[in-house]
Amino acid sequence: MFSIQNNQHDSSYLSLVSNVGPFNEFIDEYDPNEAFNTLSNARVLVIGAGGLGCEILKDLALTGFKKIDIIDADTIEVSNLNRQFLFRSGDVGRPKAEVAAEFVKRKSMGKNLSIVSHYCRIQDKPQSFYKQFDVVICGLDSVEARRWINATLVSLVDSNLNGLIPMIDGGTEGFRGQSRVILPTVTSCYECTLDMITPKTTYPVCTIANTPRLPEHCVEWASVLEWPRRFPGKKFDPDLSEHLDWMYETAHRRAIHFKIDGVTKELTLGVVKNIIPAIASTNAIIAASCCNEAFKYVTSSNPILNNYMMYSGDYSIFTYTYSHARKPNCPVCGNHPKTIKVPGSWDLRDFIEHIKEKHDISIGTPSLATATKQLYFRSPPSLEEFTRKNLGRKLSELLDDNEEVIVSDPKLPISLRLLVKLE
């Protein structure tokens, strides 16, 4: 399954790439020997060793990349084994990055292959760590982590494009997925497309409490309202069978009472864990696309993706490629503040809740300031106590119309500039 003659015998592989393909843009300038050497010496960072990351790591090794690092902060769970094929039951509890690296090296997927694993969060590494790579490929399931690495790579680029490291991002959701190539400060960045992310499904409390219509409403009622009432102070753990059984039975009884069909144990688990079905074939397709773009970029053998590819496999098979434009008011790669219109009668607490929920901002623990005053800071404790009094004050008292507010979050290496228009 994992053998490939071309990578086991470099000379045979070199003879294959000696024939310049018909789609190369600069045939006279292309040197296959140089491309092969670049492929062998390029250092690639893979972020994430889950379903997508395992596929990416395997594909990179079989493509001919020799120097690969992989970073992941998670350990292997039994539920991972059905799609994260580099892991076995005996690996449960071990770090994903370490096991994935060991597996690929043990299978000898390529001659002189070096894979270095890092069992930690990406935020734990300094900027100097990321500067050593030629390409970064993301196989993440976290928007927050993507935003962090995107902002970090943009910050490494100077005005002459020195320090530019491409970020190739892949993502899957059931039978759908996407891959994209981000050239920091040149193309649109991840933050530019934040408003394209599907928001998490939520249900109004009044609906789930009084007039449930869907099986999901019954599960949410059992989880959000009934569990805290029956077990105050006790945290629900969906991985404990007795907890999940109680949740399913409670939701099922409510569904019978309201004559609602469709409450199953699988649905209950999906709702309480916000699970999106993972499809192995989708992971394989998106990982192949990401690695193909890395190969084209490093070897200059073909034009790279410009710059977004969407894949859908739920109704037949469909792909669509387009160029996503940069946003001038992007807080990471843009130069202009984002305009936001809010009532002047709101107090600062209302404003903070609004920007936390606003999909194209999505900052969970914001601290706010203007050029002349501190509005609200969450840390240190002394500053939080000093600015807490502003939470109940009206925006019209704290801000002038069209005044710029700087919003920061300790989880993100960026500050967001908001031009606040008071209505």
Q: Which active-site residues does the annotation give?
A: 206
Distances (CA, A) of 71 to 68, 278, 284, 320: 10, 21, 19, 30
Q: What letters, b where the CB count within 10 A reaches 16 and e where it falls short, cover 116-129?
A: ebbbeebeeeeeee
Alpha-carbon distance 169 to 190, whole Å?
Answer: 9
Residue 395: exposed, middle, or buried by beta-carbon count in 10 A (0-12, 13-18, 19+)?
buried
Side-chain-facing half-sphere of 64: CA atoms under 13 Å:
24
Alpha-carbon distance 80 to 95, whole Å?
Answer: 12
Contact 283, 84 (CB under 8 A): no
Alpha-carbon distance 200 to 198, whole Å?
Answer: 7
Distances (CA, A) of 375 to 35, 76, 242, 413: 54, 43, 46, 20
Q: How many helices (H) and strands (E) does the chain have?
A: 16, 13
Pairing of strands 67-71, 114-118: parallel
Cβ within 8 Å of residue 175, ≥6 positions away: 279, 282, 312, 313, 314
* CA Rg value for the chain: 25
Cβ within 8 Å of residue 268, ≥6 positions away: 219, 222, 244, 247, 248, 251
- In what side-by-side order are the strands of the sheet with 308-312? 114-118, 67-71, 43-47, 135-138, 167-173, 176-182, 308-312, 318-322
The amino acid occupying position 180 is: R
Stated as kind and residue range, the H or E segment containing 127 is: helix 127-130
**Quick check: bond before 274 cis, omega within 30?**
no
- In what side-by-side order are the strands of the sheet with 403-408? 338-342, 415-422, 403-408, 367-369, 374-376
Alpha-carbon distance 287 to 183, whole Å?
Answer: 19
